[in-house]
Each structure stands twice: as structure tokens, then as C-alpha cells.
Homo-oligomer: A and B are copies of this chain.
Amino acid sequence: MGFAAGAEIERLVELLAKLPGLGPRSARRAVLTLVRNREGLMDPLSTALEAVRTKVRPCRICGNLDTDETCAVCRDPRRDPALLCVVEQVADLWALERAGVFRGRYHVLGGVLSALDGIGPDELRIGALVDRAKTQGVGEVILALNATVEGQTTAHYIADRLREAGIRASGLAQGVPVGGELDYLDDGTLAAALGARRALD
């Protein structure tokens, strides 16, 4: 880059700029913020990053991230083991946990089927999911995949595999988001919301 800042700073800017949501400009601002606030920000950030780097790994059961081999969700005896929620990424698991609306356990696929990217069933954790559902007394699998073409293709593929194994699969409802205004919704969402309309009691 060459902005007279020394190799160490340029290297840090370069690496920070690779994070999603940051570019070269915001990475430079981030580094200056760090240098200006050593005790309050740079030192703790360095420590926290090192802790995550050395301690955090994927849960061997569900794929969530934790410092333990088995994550906090899988360890929690209050969570219903008969209800399994399948998500694409760890970020989706976190989103559901933030909402606090699901009391079962999870299974992180690690992506979606994509012929274009050469991602087939063997690249995802689908085999492990079917095994787990069959052997761990799972009664229902909720396929909470993104409402994209790839997400829904993957959901249908998994639902077929589970049906063969005699396990019930369900998907998330589609419709108008809470607080959503019709005027701002896309045609696909409007069509889905209209198609799945429900009787008002």
C-alpha cells in the first residue's frame, strides 16, 4: 500500500481489510483507533483474538463453536433432544439463539448444495445429520435454511433423505415479516404470504 506507516501497520491494515464489512479505508481507521487506545482496546483485542485462536473449535456433535469439544447447547440437559433445527451456518444458529425462540438442539450444515461451487451432499454434514436423527431419538427436524434457491433445494434434498429414514421434516413459514410494510416487500414474498394465507379466528 505504501502510505509511510511501516511494514507492521501496513500488514495489519491489509489483514483487517479482508474481514467482511471492512475495506482498506475502514481498516486504516480501525488501526488508528487501536493505536490511540492501547490499554482499552488494542491489548484486550490481542488477548481475546489469541484466546479464540487457541481455544475455540467446532462442536463435534452439532458444528457450533465453543471452547469445549461439546458445545454449551449440546451440553444443556434442558434442551429437547427430540427436536433438531438444521441451519446453514453458525451465524444462523447464533441468530436463533439471540431470538431465544427455540429450545431444541441444532445441526450446522456448513453451507448449501451448489452444483456451481461443486458442493454436493458429501461436502456438507448431511450424512451425520441423518445418522444423528436416526440414532438419537429425534422426532422432528426443522430445516431452518435460508429462503434462497440453494437453501430451499438443500432443504428438499434433506427432507427426502429423512423421509426415507422415517423422520418427519419441516421448514420455516414464509410470509410478511413482523413490522413489514407491503409496499416495500418483493413480489416473491407477497406471493408466498398470499399463497399461505390463514383464516382469522
Please indicate the chain B residues that have their CB under 8 angstroms from the CB of A9 in the complex. Answer: 52, 56, 65
Given known pairs A21-B30, A31-B52, the reply for A8 and B89 (CB within 8 Å) is no
> Could you tell me how many residues of chain A have their Cβ less than 8 Å away from some Cβ of chain B?
58
User: Of B1, B4, B34, B93, which is within 8 A of A64 by CB?
Assistant: B4
Please indicate the chain B residues that have their CB under 8 angstroms from the CB of A66 in the complex. Answer: 5-6
Chain A 179-192 interface mask (CB, 8 Å, partner B; 1/0):
00000000000000
Chain A 8-35 interface mask (CB, 8 Å, partner B; 1/0):
1101100110111110001011111111
Binding site for B on A (CB under 8 A): 1-9, 11-12, 15-16, 18-22, 26, 28-35, 38, 41-46, 48-53, 55-56, 64-68, 71-73, 89-91, 93-95, 97-98
